[in-house]
Amino acid sequence: MRIQRTILAAVITASLAACSLAPKYAVPDVHAPVAYKELGSDAAGTWQPALPAEAAARGAWWKVFNDAQLDDLETQALAGNPGLAAAAARVQEARGAERTAGAARFPDISAGFGPTRQQNAPESLGVPPTGVRPDAQTVWRAQANIAYEVDLFGRVASTVAAARAESQEAQALFQSVQLMLQADVAQNYFQLRELDAELAVYDRAIELRQETLKFVSNRLEAGETTDLDRAQAEAELATAKSDAMSARRARAIREHALAVLLGKAPADFTFAPTPLQPVELRIPPGLPSSLLERRPDVSAAERAMAATNARIGVAKAAYFPSIILTGTGGYEAESLSNVFKWSSRSFLLGPLVGTAINLPLFDGGIRKGNLEQARARYEESVAQYRGQVLVAFRDVEDGLSTLRILQAQTAVQGEAVSASTRAFGLSKAQYEDGSVDYLNILDAERVVLGARLNEVRLRGEQAGATVNLIRALGGGWGNEPTPPGTSPVADASGTH
């Protein structure tokens, strides 16, 4: 037993001294601008700053909208969305693979008990072939077995490092899926409310056109107009009703999409009509360098790069000898009653089959091909990481420019609504006193309806652009990176 302890101590010491053959890993430099281009223009505007509530849970960026209904929908989505649950399962799968890889750092120990029946050939015992053949023998064994790979050249260490990086990549991808789900819920929510606001405009237009049709019909009975005016009034009323039906059809489809995001069947979800109110929040994006710490997709790309770098070490280690130590110790005897006697003890140190040290000599180029593949995968992951960084910067610039232009556009559209409303009032008054024909009031009605619909749609685009900018910023904003979230299992179950 003293010999076994000595060998085990030597194995552990050798393992601790192992060094990885993977290249020294460092995140490649990327060109991060000092500031965002769009901040050079008048991007701040007069909207109120978006400051996260101190009581809000980590990562609950939607709280900035101060909308209890949206808060409830986000909670339901985090608890019930199947895609998020699948992403959480992938994280657990990656963690299991990491544990499997890490187990190779420790000895594999097993134990067994049972009989064997064997008969040796005479030649194996030095007995002439013409001699007496030995009798068959039953041997009872109670033994413990140990096997261990001495990681002198870092194959195990590199494998463990790669598995750890892949597990972290899966966690970052989970956070990316979660952020995308949260943004999709908010987008669908605001789109539904935009459609409700459009329906309110259509309903008001229908009321006005019904009043106009009644007025035209009265004038026709009095002989002050013709059937053409009434036919035109009826056509405009029918058109408004048809447009309202189109909006209701779009609303139903959007409501079904939101139900699926929540993990519910469309038949089990109903969203009460709630017209959208203006969303005027200014999101300070902070510094471009902090974006790389907040974006989970960028973090995932970086962890994938670290994993492929470690795989180069695994491929390099294949060029060097592998050392596997094995040992068996315990008791063996011819009868069960004698198995556990001290005199029945036995042990075997060294390989049971083959050799302890295996030195690769010729493999037809397999190791060289594997190393070339590992290096190429690393170069690919570097290019993908840099591409993901560029996409992140582009997303933020898109969001900033969209909100900046929308701010000016909504102000101009508000002026258009006011002007068209005044024009319609004047046209209606002039038509009632007979100074203009019905075509003037029709044109004025169409202009004011279009202006009001455009105003509502711009409000929806404004809300959606705000969500998109927060998503582009990784679910946070300002100069400080968003703290890491909770475990994916807790997130997937809706616990925060």
In a domain, 398, yes or no: yes
Q: Which residues contact 118 (CB under 8 A, 6 or more apart)?
A: 136, 137, 139
**Tokens 């134990």 -> residue:** 111
Q: Are residues 63 and 56 in contact, defined by beta-carbon separation less than 8 angstroms?
A: yes
Please state whether the predicted TM-score (pTM) of the whole model is above 0.75: yes
How many domains are there within the chain? 1
How deeply is 302 buried, as exposed, middle or buried, from its count of CB atoms within 10 A (0-12, 13-18, 19+)?
buried
The confidence score (pLDDT) of residue 47 equals 45
In a domain, 340, yes or no: no
The confidence score (pLDDT) of residue 45 equals 41
Averaged pLDDT, 126-143: 72
Rounded to 5 degrees, φ, ψ at 270 are: -135, 130
Residue 143 has pLDDT above 90, yes or no: no
Residue 91 has pLDDT above 70, yes or no: yes
In a domain, 373, yes or no: no
CATH of the domain at 182: 1.20.1600.10
Q: What single string gives the DSSP state of each residue in 149-194?
A: EE-TTSHHHHHHHHHHHHHHHHHHHHHHHHHHHHHHHHHHHHHHHH
In a domain, 137, yes or no: no
Residue 222 has pLDDT above 90, yes or no: no
Q: Are residues 248 and 272 in contact, defined by beta-carbon separation less than 8 angstroms?
A: no
Please report, for the chain, how many H helices and E strands are present, in that order.
10, 7
- H or E stretch including 255? helix 227-261
**Tokens 């009826």 -> residue:** 234
Averaged pLDDT, 315-332: 84
Strand, helix or coil for residue 294 = helix
Of the pLDDT bands very low, low, confident and very high (cuts 50, 70, 90), residue 495 is very low
Cα dihedral 265, 266, 268, 270 sign: positive
In a domain, 216, yes or no: yes
In a domain, 452, yes or no: yes
- H or E stretch including 470? helix 438-472
What's the pLDDT tens digit per position in 237-255?
999 999 999 999 999 999 9
Residue 469 has pLDDT above 70, yes or no: yes
**DSSP code, position 285:** -
Of the pLDDT bands very low, low, confident and very high (cuts 50, 70, 90), residue 54 is very low
Residue 75 CA to residue 63 CA, distance in Å, equals: 11
How far is the first Cα of the chain from the last one, in angstroms, to the nearest whole number?
Answer: 52
- Which residue type, as a one-letter code, is found at position 149? E
Averaged pLDDT, 112-124: 75
Rounded to 5 degrees, φ, ψ at 194 are: -65, -45
Residue 97 CA to residue 65 CA, distance in Å, equals: 40
Of the ranges 147-156, 343-352, 378-387, which one carries the lowest mean pLDDT score? 343-352
Residue 95 CA to residue 349 CA, distance in Å, equals: 34
CA–centroid distance for 40 within its chain = 31
Counting other chains too, the contacts that 251-259 makes at CB distance below 8 Å and 24 or more residues apart are 251/192, 251/195, 251/196, 251/199, 254/188, 254/191, 254/192, 254/195, 255/192, 257/188, 258/73, 258/185, 258/188, 258/189, 258/192
Structure tokens at 165: 């990086």
Domain region containing 220: 33-51+73-97+159-322+379-473
Residue 378 CA to residue 301 CA, distance in Å, equals: 11
H helical segments located in 288-365: 288-294, 296-317
Averaged pLDDT, 124-142: 71
In a domain, 13, yes or no: no
Of the pLDDT bands very low, low, confident and very high (cuts 50, 70, 90), residue 433 is confident
Structure tokens at 317: 């280690």
Axis crossing angle, helix 82-102 with helix 155-221, rounded to the nearest 10? 170
Residue 51 has pLDDT above 60, yes or no: no
Q: Are residues 492 and 78 in contact, defined by beta-carbon separation less than 8 angstroms?
A: yes
**Tokens 């005027």 -> residue:** 280
The confidence score (pLDDT) of residue 356 equals 66
In a domain, 178, yes or no: yes
Of the pLDDT bands very low, low, confident and very high (cuts 50, 70, 90), residue 405 is very high
Averaged pLDDT, 74-78: 95
The confidence score (pLDDT) of residue 203 equals 93
